[in-house]
Amino acid sequence: MSAETSLRRVHGACPHDCPDTCALVVHSEGQRVLRVQGRADHPSTHGALCTKVSRYPERTHHPDRVLYPLRRVSAKTEPPRFERVTWTEALADIAGRLQGIAARDPQAIQPYSYAGTMGLLQGGSMADRLWNRLGAARLDRTICASAGAEALNLTYGSRVGMHLRFFAESRLILIWGSNSIASNLHFWTYANQAKRNGAKLICIDPRRTETADKCHQHLALRPGSDGALALALMHELIRHDWLDHDYLENYVTGWAQLRERALQWPPERVAPVTGLKVDEIEALARDYGTTAPAAIRLNYGMQRVHGGGNAVRLIALLPCLVGAWKHRAGGLLLSSSGWSAPFKNNAALERPDLLAGRQPRMVNMSAIGNALRDLEGPRIEALVVYNSNPAAVAPENGNVVRGLQRNDLFTVVLEHFMTDTADHADYVLPATTQMEHLDVHTSYGHTDVLINEPAIPPLGESKPNTQIFRELAAALGFGSEPWAQEDDEALARQALLGLDYERLRREGFVSLDLPDAPFAHGEWPTTDGKVWAVHPAAGLPDFVPNVESPESAPTLAARYPLAMISPPARNFLNSSFVNVQSLRDIEREPVLEMHPQDAQTRGLTDGAMARVFNDRGEQRLKVVLNGRARPGVVHGLGVWWRKFGPDGKNVNELTHQGLTDIGGGACFYDCLVEVRAA
């Protein structure tokens, strides 16, 4: 093949857990990715990618890529040492170990995966088929969004809301618990357009983020107080009669009870709870009650606290009070995943029928540390990790590491890199990246479906997750069963119902055909077509404070007076990209942002090394006084790999494994600490 003919350009999709799900154009030559660009003709991508994914060639061709199967040769508590083995050897040994365990109890085999890739193929499919066939333990995938997602289900009947593009036409946008510029860049483009057209932008976030810097107003509330703020806003909307009575009467179930509850939360009561001033709350209510169309971009940052589910339910009701849903540029967007849900053919991809009536136990991934240490539930004997890095990202990860250090735990990790988790594996299996495999993607930020074509062949001996699980299934003796024989092309063709796969292949993305203002006349996906202020089983939402707060735990709060949140560093994506040098150079080192007053009373100056601690552990971080923290709140930006931290730890050493009120989610931002000079 001449150099010219080996130049390729394919349609791609960004695989990351990001609401933007960008459409990519990937340029490659032979085995090398040359350039990754945003598609100019995809509406929300608009030709632009974030800094992280623009560096994809650097990540793909990183000298540290795991390119061959590796077998551990050191004890679990010793520094990790591995030797290269063949695929045949690795798969035969892994299958033998798993078979031995499955013969006693397949539920002692625990798969652990999350959103390293969001692809319908590489994110599950063949893996789910294998686990179902084996009867392995199931995983409750709660680490990110389950409180908010379940809250939307309880309120709207599904994860639906207004469409991304119409934010550009809003007159008022509340950016609530979202650092959009860092983690939802393509929403920000629309918000910025609205701003240029004269809209007012208000950011509701404890941290003065780069997004807050660009809004007209920033309300730095205390972490976990959003539900109280929503109730006070309702109180004011009622008091001033800034209500759309028609919408409330016709399209909301339980308005009378909600009204009664809201009237118990005047701004005077809510001000000390939120740390906001009474007049700030009143002014916000005035803006929201008197500006149309008003839109809320809610995001998952505000639901990583114990009361996160109730808070989302309350905020999700606000647009009904003012009838914002009547405009296409009004309403709320937290997740759009419910729009594509009916098109996803989970039954074909995951084959729950292979369970044959069994109901294996379910382990909550947000409490994996306790589960691995046998502090909860039956013993996990084997752990198979893919698309996730729990040793870094799971709460209270000191416990995860101690669990992974069990010499009697058999751990297999499918990875691109030697992450904190892979360091503890018995086997590390080389997985392909998005540049090297086929996949199909839906989005939780927009409503397009995308295809990802491989741009280059698999590097080294790496294989797609699907292929690894297909071969593992064969090694386990399932090779003659039809479910284990379908290749990726066959899986991709089955992934979506009612969408033309050939067209998707040709065009790279297909937009779902949906009404502009879907809820202008009710028609919610609930059983009665109305929004549920009162849910038949869950009742009326209420303000639920943080478990680690002066309200809930005064003694603890006296010992650990600072609330710590740990939102992502802009140039990392959870723990992905931390090992990409050019991106780590921008973030430099793990930091703790503090308010100057909090630093001063502890004798800390800008740049000092601090010891951040609570009963769960301690971590060393460099203090940064950059004006982003409010008094009483500190920010440990994440999610660094533990091994890049100054003391081999990261912020999740301090977070806890308690769960949210709804959805059993993780409570990363519900965490009290104290800080001292190191």
Q: What is the DSSP letter of 603?
A: T
Cβ of 16: how many Cβ atoms within 10 Å?
20
List, as one string, the DSSP characters of 195-225: HHTT-EEEEE-SS--HHHHHSSEEE-PPTT-
- Tell me which of 11, 16, 306, 373 binds ligand SF4, using CB under 6 A: 16
Asked if 381 is part of the footprint of ligand MGD (rule: CB under 6 A), the reply reads no
In angstroms, the CA 245 to CA 90 distance is: 66
- For the four alpha carbons of 278, 280, 283 and 287, in that order, the dihedral sign comes to negative
Asked if 117 is part of the footprint of ligand MGD (rule: CB under 6 A), the reply reads yes
| Cβ 566 to ligand MGD shortest distance, Å | 4
Q: Which stretch binds ligand MGD (CB under 6 A): 323-331, 523-531, 535-543, 563-571?
A: 563-571
Cβ of 373: how many Cβ atoms within 10 Å?
18
Residue (12 or 323) nearer to ligand MGD, CB: 12
Q: Which stretch binds ligand SF4 (CB under 6 A): 11-19, 62-70, 382-390, 667-675?
A: 11-19
Asked if 226 is part of the footprint of ligand SF4 (rule: CB under 6 A), the reply reads no
Asked if 396 is part of the footprint of ligand SF4 (rule: CB under 6 A), the reply reads no
Residue (158 or 389) nearer to ligand MGD, CB: 389
Note whether 511 and 448 are within 8 A (CB): yes
In order of 46, 142, 632, 654, the CA distances from 364 in angstroms are 38, 7, 31, 19
In 454-589, the DSSP E strands lie at: 509-511, 531-532, 562-565
Q: Which stretch binds ligand MGD (CB under 6 A): 194-202, 283-291, 296-304, 593-601?
A: 296-304
First-to-last C-alpha distance (Å) of the chain = 60
* Window 4 to 63, contacts with ligand MGD (CB under 6 A): 17-18
Residue (53 or 243) nearer to ligand MGD, CB: 53
Asked if 180 is part of the footprint of ligand SF4 (rule: CB under 6 A), the reply reads no
Which residues does 355 contact at the CB level (< 8 Å), separation at least 6? 132, 135
H or E, element range at 11: strand 7-13
Residue 49 binds what, of ligand SF4, Mo ion, ligand MGD, none (CB under 5 to 8 Å, by partner type)? ligand SF4
| Cβ 393 to Mo ion shortest distance, Å | 9
Strands laid side by side in the 382-386 sheet: 82-84, 70-72, 427-430, 410-415, 382-386, 109-113
Asked if 20 is part of the footprint of ligand SF4 (rule: CB under 6 A), the reply reads yes
Residue (159 or 171) nearer to ligand SF4, CB: 159
Note whether 221 and 229 are within 8 A (CB): yes
Which residues does 333 contact at the CB level (< 8 Å), separation at least 6? 161, 162, 163, 164, 167, 295, 296, 297, 298, 445
| Cβ 449 to ligand SF4 shortest distance, Å | 14
| Cβ 114 to Mo ion shortest distance, Å | 8
Quick one: which of 264, 260, 265, 240 has its CA closest to 322?
240
Site string for ligand SF4, 560-599 (x = CB under 6 A): -------------x--------------------------
- For the four alpha carbons of 370, 372, 378 and 379, in that order, the dihedral sign comes to negative
Residue 547 binds what, of Mo ion, ligand MGD, ligand SF4, none (CB under 5 to 8 Å, by partner type)? none
- Tell me which of 28, 125, 388, 442 binds ligand MGD, using CB under 6 A: 388
Per CB under 6 A, residues contacting ligand MGD are 17-18, 114-117, 122, 143-144, 176-179, 182-184, 204-207, 209, 223-224, 226, 299-302, 305, 386-389, 393, 414-417, 419, 431, 465, 565-568, 570, 572-576, 638-639, 651-652, 655, 668-669
Residues binding ligand SF4 (CB under 6 A): 14, 16, 18, 20-22, 49-50, 52-53, 185, 573
